[in-house]
A and B are shown apart, each in its own frame.
Chain A
Amino acid sequence: MNISYGLENIWTWLITLIDRLFCRAGLPYIFAYTLEKIIFGVALLVFISISVLFLIWLERKVSAHMQSRLGPMHVGGWHGWAQTIADMVKLLFKEDIIPAKADKWVHRIAPIVVFVPSLMAFLVIPFEKNLIGQDLNAGILLIFAFSSLAVLAIIMGGWASNNKYTLLGGIRSAAQMVSYEIPLVLSVLSVIMLVGSLKLNDIVEAQQGWHWFAFTQPLAFMLYIIAATAEVNRTPFDLPEAESEIVSGYNTEYSGLKYGFFMLSEFTNMLIVALVAATVFMGGWQGPKWLPLPGIIWLLLKTYLIVFVLMWFRWTFPRLRVDRLMDFGWKVLIPLAFVNIFLTGLFMVVFK
């Protein structure tokens, strides 16, 4: 299928233009390639920053309306759209505190370590068929590999702050994220079995015409959503930063921009899991044929649907307790994921 509308046309046109220019100037192709990737990376960064700012605003609005409030209404004019920008500016100007007995370097590096991998995961997500940083053969694996690095940063931050609450938060998140990684990957595994490829574009194209894996693999989809909520530390699985128990968890001792990085990465991670859910289970950039919109619009619509569901969870559910969380992960989610894989395998053997 060839979709002739969309952002990718502009992108392909731009690539061709750069390629030709460099070719005419007699420069090697590697320079053109590098420039293209840099342009894409910058565009991606801009996209992520704007999305995250929007997400934070959205979170506040969604929560407010769920709680019969209005949320931010003043900054910027229309429904306080500039509120998060103002908040970020405020964070920029805040004093950067490093606790006296903290492990200074680890404390400093942790926010970077948490943010970079969450950015990297965006590289392999196909916003449209050709609008992709790098269509790797093992794209989906790369995403999970990078998103599991976040736990490292959280432990680093929690341990380096030299505070008992942050330590508890770090330990909790280590246990939680390592455990929930397994059902997360296993739930996607059944989809990969059906598609036979780890390439995200292949997965998207396998769902052509409403054959979403969310419908054919409902159990996997549910498992994915639950595990993803836990993976991005959102209620009901927000134990690492349970504010009524351990103050603010691993980021208790962070302030200013470093705290901002933790917050940004939290929302970036949410965006990633939602993007992956939209790509793997909901047909990615494909939309109905009768409504020719750019693929990226379809993808973002689906993504924000998932994001909204995650927010809905957060403002509805209480928090699980740490041992019950482990029980749920190991005794419910993982067995179910295995059952699902087994059933998928059985299905494939019987019907093919």
Chain B
Amino acid sequence: MTENTLKDKDGFETMYLNMGPQHPSTHGVLRLGLVLDGEVIIKAEPDIGYLHRGMEKLAESRTYQANIAMSDRFDYVTSMNNNFVTALAVEKLLGVEIPKRAQYLRILMAELNRVVNHILFFGFFAMDLGATTALIFGFREREEALELFESVCGARLTYNYFRVGGVSRDLPAGFIEKAGNFVKMMRSRLKDYDDLVTGNVIFQDRSVGIGRISKEDVLAYSLSGPVMRASGIKYDIRKDDTYSVYREFDFEVPVRENGDCFDRYMMRMLELREALKIIEQVLIKLEPGEILAKVPKIIKPPAGEAYVRTESPKGELALYLVSDGTANPYRLHLRAPSFINLQILQKILTGVKVADVIAILGSIDITLGEVDR
């Protein structure tokens, strides 16, 4: 695609390597144009758009409720969180009050999905570094979580669980016990994870000090989520710009200082524990009650606009929603954390090795569905 005229430091010809869109570990259809001097990267250029489905345009021809169904497909790993932000944005325009139980259920699902996302991250990141077993371990636990989701809303990937004004269904019988068991199991499995991967010398060798992102870069590139907190900025929208009923829950915002791949990995592992903590609290606090507020059958929010931000497992997931008073949104813009976090690649990939590209890309944790929308 691009003419390769770059020379290496000794004036020799360089190699242009097209990593992706078909590649085992670009996490989808990301293309990285790499200019290589041997195995060292001189210039990296991420190229996206291979999965562009025009979702922001599609949203304009769908009703608000249908948009929640579509939001499942933004980032198909964290569908519940996407549902959450879409429902919140519509409710902000509409100005409805959500029943308590629905709020709790939403947080329960969002945090469960956070657990699922971080488990997947663990598996894929270890896989990117060559540890195959971790992936299977991750999938084993994810399966349990997906079964929980399935029992609640009948789907395993695209849940469409949230409604404007609440959630679609109440919990099935025995869910609380099952979820409690899941949390317990997950805690013990996290020990396995640490034994297998975190403490491994080779793993640390591959990730400590690799792909460092400074605090300044985090701010300049608007990075968010675990990537931001791994670089020492303690900012979690759930705490600092709270939404829904997160205020009622007691959880820590873990933060790490170095901003390298290992810290980004550790961030997820720590957040996973916090998410489990929240789930446990929700399970205790849940009380019977309404799960859906009274909202009109056809949702027509008054003309207006809102920018609603939430903390998805990947970072700041926000929705800019403009309504013109009709049944369809006038404009829906998704602030996708993967999309914005991915920009840093151009900067930090210079000078690293091919193997580190995979580690760095994996540690940023992107989903191409969200990057391209």
Chain A residues in the interface with B (C-beta under 8 A): 63, 66-69, 164-165, 168, 171-172, 235-236, 238-239, 242-247, 315-324
Contact = CB atoms under 8 A, between A and B. Distances in A.
A318 B15 CA distance: 27
B39 A68 contact: no
A244 B130 contact: yes
B283 interface: no
Output the residue of B23, B25, B131 with the most chain A CB within 10 A: B131
A320 B132 contact: no
A321 B133 contact: no
Given A246-B354, A321-B353, A321-B355, A235 B130 contact: yes
A67 B357 CA distance: 27
Contacts of B353: 321-323
B260 to A, nearest CB: 14
Contacts of A317: 130-131, 200, 202
B327 to A, nearest CB: 46
B2 to A, nearest CB: 15
Nearest to A327: B205
Nearest to B17: A164
15 contacts: A68-B136, A68-B137, A236-B130, A242-B355, A244-B127, A244-B128, A244-B358, A246-B354, A247-B24, A318-B126, A318-B203, A319-B202, A321-B355, A322-B353, A322-B354
A324 B130 CA distance: 15
B238 interface: no
A246 B354 CA distance: 8
B197 interface: yes
Nearest to B129: A318
Contacts of B156: none
B196 interface: yes
Interface residues of B, number: 32
Contacts of B133: 63, 66-67, 315-316
B131 A321 contact: no
Contacts, number: 84
A239 B200 CA distance: 18
Contacts of B358: 244-245
A329 to B, nearest CB: 14
A168 B25 contact: no
Contacts of A315: 132-133
B285 interface: no
Output the residue of B140, B197, B355, B358 with the most chain A CB within 10 A: B355
B196 A319 contact: no
Contacts of B126: 318
A66 B202 CA distance: 19
A156 to B, nearest CB: 19
A204 to B, nearest CB: 34
Given A67-B136, A321-B355, A244 B202 contact: no
Interface in B125-161: 126-133, 136-137, 140
Contacts of A246: 354
A162 to B, nearest CB: 13
Contacts of B203: 318
A66 B353 CA distance: 31
B173 to A, nearest CB: 29
Interface string B1-30: 000000000000001011000011100000
B261 to A, nearest CB: 12
B92 interface: no
B277 interface: no
B271 interface: no
A320 B200 contact: no
B356 interface: yes
Output the residue of B15, B130, B140, B196 with the most chain A CB within 10 A: B130
Contact of A321 (B18, B140, B356): B356
A316 B131 contact: yes
Given A66-B133, A235-B130, A318-B130, A244 B25 contact: yes
Contacts of A168: 17, 39, 354
A317 B201 CA distance: 9
B15 A164 contact: yes
B366 to A, nearest CB: 15
Nearest to A68: B140
B130 A319 contact: yes
A165 B23 CA distance: 11
Contacts of B136: 67-69
A242 B127 CA distance: 11
B130 A238 contact: yes
Contact of B206 (A67, A238, A320): A320
Given A67-B137, A244-B127, A320-B202, 17 more contacts: A69-B136, A168-B354, A235-B130, A242-B355, A244-B358, A245-B25, A245-B355, A247-B24, A317-B130, A317-B200, A318-B197, A318-B200, A318-B203, A318-B206, A320-B205, A321-B355, A323-B39
A243 B137 contact: no
A243 B128 CA distance: 9
A239 B356 CA distance: 13
B278 to A, nearest CB: 28
A68 B143 CA distance: 13
Contacts of A320: 202, 205-206
A315 B15 CA distance: 33
Interface in B23-47: 23-25, 38-39
B349 to A, nearest CB: 14
A136 B126 CA distance: 46
Contacts of A171: 38
Contacts of B131: 316-319
